[in-house]
Amino acid sequence: MRMVDLIEKKKCGLELTSDEISFIIKGIMSGEIPDYQMSAFLMAVCFQGMTDQEATSLTFAMRDSGKILDLSSVPGKKIDKHSSGGVGDKTTLVLAPIIASLDVPVSKMSGRGLGFTGGTIDKLACIHPFSSPDSMDDYVNMIREHKIAISEQTGDLAPADGILYALRDATDTVQSIPLIASSIMSKKLASGCDGVVLDVTCGSGAFMTNLEDASHLAKLMITIGKSCGKSMAAVITSMEEPLGYAIGNILEVKEAIMALHGQGPDDLMEVVYKLGSYMLLLADRTDNLSDARKLMEEQVNNGKAYAKFREWVVLQGDASAGKLVDMPASFPRAERIDVITAEEDGYIKLIDAKALGTAVMMLGGGRKEKGDSIDETAGIVLHAKVADYVKKGDPLLEVHWNPKDGREEAFQLIRKAFVMSKEKTEPVKLILGEFT
Ligand code: URA
């Protein structure tokens, strides 16, 4: 087989066999296929797409490029949850302990934030000294004994995805549905779970900006997972405004803690309960979504969800991490908190999630490039959401920041992020689709 022939085949829109796809992934891992040929192939995929069978073969080849985590020593069905990324998305911090408090094991491999979206590992790392387990054995033991653990996605699992993702990033070929689906699913399959609940975000603050693409991505990932016997569900959630009120690492952790005490924003809790209900269903903990939701609400109201969260941060941190989450006011704060106010009376029509996520990144709260350090205290707290009525001078949001050069651009984005209307506006429809 020659890579140049396979590039031509894809360029002409023909379907590759699983052997051909496996040849490509093995070649990129061994270095026999150079980056320039792989880049040409990725561009051909962007234009020609892939059949479901090709995307499935690509996923399996990437999964098999590294280790596959063995969770068989953990009793019960292990259901992972994955979000395709958003602004203000602290869902995992709230959801994971609720599910674990119901004795359903939660095994979570997660990434760091990049660009305008945050990463769960960065958020938890604000609870000093929270860290990933030292080894995969420790990780599995934590899940077995405490029903909950999170680890930074290691390079051992689906390493081909790391190589491909860097090339896609450099060649503007990230935005391809089969490439996104195989990237996400190869990592999920390598993480050893029995099922996955996918949160496919859709809107201005997400990878998928329209419902048609988001539905296509959701269905493709379900097809891939089911083809190797995994239990699958996907929920399409709106990213037309930030989720909850807080954006930025420490601010989001504090909001998540309040949510576990029963004081979470409505939109955040809606997403948490929806995804969690599917997790409980796939784990065979309940046989219907409404019972699942009641169980989850009970765990928040009786304090067991927060107790599990505290156990988790002590487990992956130490006793001081437990004390910190008990007193959220003691988290470090940014040097300055500036309030941006409404310039006119009216209803809020739109809050540009991507602009606010980008602004937080520019304020130091996120990474422009992989490996950049982040300012955990930087961020935004909204005072109003879409459909709220505000009067001129009312606060729209507060900006938490530490003055440094070059922050003006961030403030320009923030000031333009709110679109107002004299007419009454509708709240954002949050759940846009559900697939199993
Ligand atoms: N998240 C991933 O892991 N991969 C993609 O390609 C896009 C989002």
pLDDT in tens, 12-24: 999 999 999 999 9
Q: What is the mean pLDDT of the segment spanning 301-320?
A: 98
Name the catalytic one among 63, 187, 188, 254. Answer: 187
Burial per residue of 341-368, b for 16 or more beta-carbon CB atoms within 10 angstroms, e otherwise: ebeeebbbbbbbbbbbbbbbbbbbbbbe
Q: What DSSP letter does each residue of 199-234 carry, written as one string?
A: EEEESTTSSB-SHHHHHHHHHHHHHHHHTTT-EEEE
Beta pairing, strands 79-83 & 195-202: parallel
Omega cis (within 30) before 265: no
Q: Which atom of ligand 1 is nearest to the CA of 168?
A: 6
Q: Is residue 183 annotated as part of the catalytic site, yes or no?
A: yes
C-alpha 327 to ligand 1 mean position (Å):
35
Rounded Cα distance between 126 and 164, Å, is 30
Substitution site in 45, 117, 165 for ligand 1 pocket (most atoms within 8 Å of beta carbon): 165
Could you give the count of Cα atoms lying within 13 Å of 227 in the half-sphere of its Cβ? 18
Q: pLDDT digit string (tens) for 399-416?
A: 999 998 778 999 999 999
Burial per residue of 211-236, b for 16 or more beta-carbon CB atoms within 10 angstroms, e otherwise: eebbbbbbbbbbbbbebeebbbbbbb
What is the predicted pLDDT for the residue at 405? 73
User: What is the band of 327 on the pLDDT scale with cuts at 50, 70, 90?
Assistant: very high
What is the predicted pLDDT for the residue at 153? 83
Q: pLDDT digit string (tens) for 36-79?
A: 999 999 999 999 999 999 999 999 999 999 999 999 999 999 99
Rounded Cα distance between 80 and 275, Å, is 11
C-alpha 183 to ligand 1 mean position (Å):
6
Q: Is residue 227 annotated as part of the catalytic site, yes or no?
A: no
Q: Which of 114-128, 219-233, 342-356 has the lowest mean pLDDT?
A: 114-128
> Using CA positions, which residue lies closest to atom 6 of ligand 1?
180
Does pLDDT of 85 surpass 90?
no
In the chain, what percentage of residues exceed pLDDT 90?
91
Is the C-beta atom of 180 inside 6 A of ligand 1? yes
Q: Is residue 161 annotated as part of the catalytic site, yes or no?
A: yes
Is the C-beta atom of 184 inside 6 A of ligand 1? yes
C-alpha 214 to ligand 1 mean position (Å):
13
Name the catalytic one among 10, 82, 274, 354. Answer: 82
Is the C-beta atom of 280 inside 6 A of ligand 1? no
